Every structure is written in C-alpha cells, then in structure tokens.
C-alpha cells in the first residue's frame, strides 16, 4: 500500500516543489493537530483558522494572488 500513498502525495508535492515525503510529514503533522483530515488523497479542512494561524506570512499573499485569477 505504500506506493499508493506516495502517489497520492505526488501531485501536491509537484505543486509545492517539495518531495513526497515532505507532503506526508506535513499532512501527518496537520492531522495530528486536528487541522485537517487526510486519507487516500482526500484532504478535508477541519479548522481553517488554525491552519491560517499555523501558516507562514506568505499565506495571505499567495491567497490574494490566487483570488486575481478568473473562475
């Protein structure tokens, strides 16, 4: 089952420019803090405010850039 888990992490790793094990470690930490629920590539945010508090200052900047895209 390990290859299946890694393939679930491949796309976010590509988007973020990190290794798959980095995605695994981050998702595990966020899940342990009850900020997300992560299973088989399905990510559910449990505490958006907690995620924002845990994020770096770049969160607001990247969100404003994303908001400028149409659609």
19-42 average pLDDT score: 90
Indicate the domain borders of the chain.
Answer: 2-67
Residue 42 has pLDDT above 60, yes or no: yes
pLDDT band at 71 (very low <50, low <70, confident <90, very high): low
Give per-residue pLDDT as tens, 5-18: 445 778 888 888 99
Report the alpha-carbon distance of residue 50 to residue 52 in Å, rounded. 5
Q: Which tops the pLDDT comparison, 59 or 4?
A: 59
Give per-residue pLDDT as tens, 43-58: 899 999 999 888 887 7
- Find, among 2, 7, 1, 3, the residue nearest to 41 by Cα: 7
Q: Give pLDDT, residue 61.
A: 80
> How far is residue 49 from each of residues 9, 35, 42, 45, measured CA to CA in Å?
24, 9, 20, 10
Domain covering 2-67, topology: Arc Repressor Mutant, subunit A (1.10.10)
């Amino acid at each position: 089952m390990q290859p299946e888990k890694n393939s679930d992490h491949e796309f976010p790793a590509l988007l973020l420019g990190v290794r798959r094990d980095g995605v695994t470690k981050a998702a595990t930490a966020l899940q342990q803090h009850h900020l997300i629920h992560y299973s088989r590539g399905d990510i559910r945010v449990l505490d958006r405010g907690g995620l924002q508090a845990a994020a770096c200052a770049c969160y607001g900047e990247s969100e404003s850039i994303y908001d400028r895209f149409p659609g």
